[in-house]
Each structure stands twice: as structure tokens, then as C-alpha cells.
Amino acid sequence: MISSRLTDPEPILNLKDLFYEEKLKDEIVDKINRLPEKNKRANLNLLQEIQTVLQRCTHLTENQRLMYCESQRYFMKQYLREMNKQV
């Protein structure tokens, strides 16, 4: 809906608001399209961090190692799902 603001000092210049909404829509669509890529990177980073913990932390108990392996498996599944969506 277009509304004129005649009380503004320069009402003609206020037409930029009509185009500003279009720009916002484009930015939102762009951010939505980048979400899967961001998710893939986040899952891959978590996988690498978990792998580093498993390799370097020798003081972990068997139960703790198992929990890390289960977490690693979960994030690997998430990462592979995102990769398969891309294809």
C-alpha cells in the first residue's frame, strides 16, 4: 500500500521507501540461500573438533570416548544430508 507523507519536508524523495522493501526482500532471499552452506561448514568444523578431541585427549574414559563418537556420527550424518541435498 502506498501512502504519501505530505507532511515530510521533501515528499517526492520519500519514494525511495517503495524500493527499499524490494532490496530487503532480495537480501532475505540471499541469506536464506546461504544457510545450507553455513550449516555444512558448521557441521564440518564440529566434526574436525570432535576428531581432534578423540585423537589428542588420552585421559578420556571409554564412556566419554563413546559419547564423542556418537556426537561425531550425528554431525557426520547432518553433513552428509546437506551434501546430498546439494546434488
Q: Which tens digit of pLDDT belongs to each residue from 33-58?
A: 676 677 788 888 889 999 999 999 98
What range defines the domain where residue 66 resides? 11-86
Alpha carbons 3 and 11: distance in angstroms, whole number: 11
Assigned domain for 4 exists: no
In a domain, 64, yes or no: yes
| Residue 19 in grid coordinates | 524500493
- Percent of residues, the chain, with pLDDT higher than 90: 24
Determine, yes or no, domain membership for 53: yes
Residue 1 located in a structural domain? no
Count of domains observed in the chain:
1
Do the beta carbons of residue 72 and residue 54 sit within 8 Å?
yes
Q: How confident is the model at residue 79 (pLDDT cuts 50, 70, 90)?
A: confident
- pLDDT greater than 50 at residue 1: no
- How is residue 57 annotated by DSSP? -
What backbone torsions phi and psi does residue 6 show, to the nearest 5 degrees? -70, -20
Q: Does any domain span residue 3?
A: no
